[in-house]
Amino acid sequence: MAWPKGVPRKKATVDVPDERFKGAAVVSEKSVQEVLQTVSAAPRKKVNLIDARSDPFSKFKTDEKRFYYRALNTKPDNLSVREAEGFQVMPEAKFGDLVLAKLPREAHEEQAEEVRDKTFRQTDAAVNQFKEEAARHGVETFDET
């Protein structure tokens, strides 16, 4: 739950023996040690989506020659953007806040080609702009050919 808007927080700095918390604002009456003892973060299970042995989605990737598979975050904004790109979400393939989606291989290759072309054009434009700026300032440039 977030702090209510318009309600000022009690702030003070205290001497803390732990260097990580020097100058931290105090929002609790408890000592830093008490708070540190009660706060714990469960380590997240490491998942490698490239290695089939640890990939939780490997059993759902049934036709990798026809489809490109990608794990997507389940946030609605993210899913709607990816669906607009052509991804088909596979709701049965869910792991934590990730869901597997597939895209026809041809569409993926077209998108990858468009990204490569755009990157090339942007790089070429940046190089040309640099050369023009250099020429305006009287700096000689050389082509690496």
Quickly state the pLDDT bin for 90 (edges 50, 70, 90).
very high
Give the pLDDT confidence of 119-136 residue by residue, as tens digits: 999 999 999 999 999 999
Q: How far is CA 71 from CA 11, 54, 64, 104, 127, in A?
A: 42, 14, 14, 15, 35
Q: Is residue 65 part of a domain?
A: yes
Q: Is residue 141 part of a domain?
A: no
Indicate whether 64 and 96 sit together in one domain: yes
Span of 26-30, 94-98, 110-114 with lowest mean pLDDT: 26-30
What per-residue confidence (pLDDT) applies to 54? 81
Which one is predicted more confidently, 43 or 80? Answer: 80
pLDDT higher than threshold 70 for residue 145:
no
Give the pLDDT confidence of 19-64 residue by residue, as tens digits: 666 666 656 666 666 766 666 555 666 777 777 788 889 899 999 9
Q: Is residue 100 part of a domain?
A: yes
CB count within 10 Å of CB 131 equals: 15
What per-residue confidence (pLDDT) applies to 4? 73
pLDDT higher than threshold 90 for residue 105:
yes
Indicate whether 32 and 64 sit together in one domain: no
Q: Is residue 1 part of a domain?
A: no
| Count: domains in the chain | 2
Mean pLDDT over the full length of the chain:
83
Q: Is residue 91 part of a domain?
A: yes
β-strand partners of 67: 104
Residue 90 lies in domain: 58-104
pLDDT higher than threshold 80 for residue 73:
yes
Q: Is residue 78 part of a domain?
A: yes
CB count within 10 Å of CB 94 equals: 16
Quickly state the pLDDT bin for 102 (edges 50, 70, 90).
very high
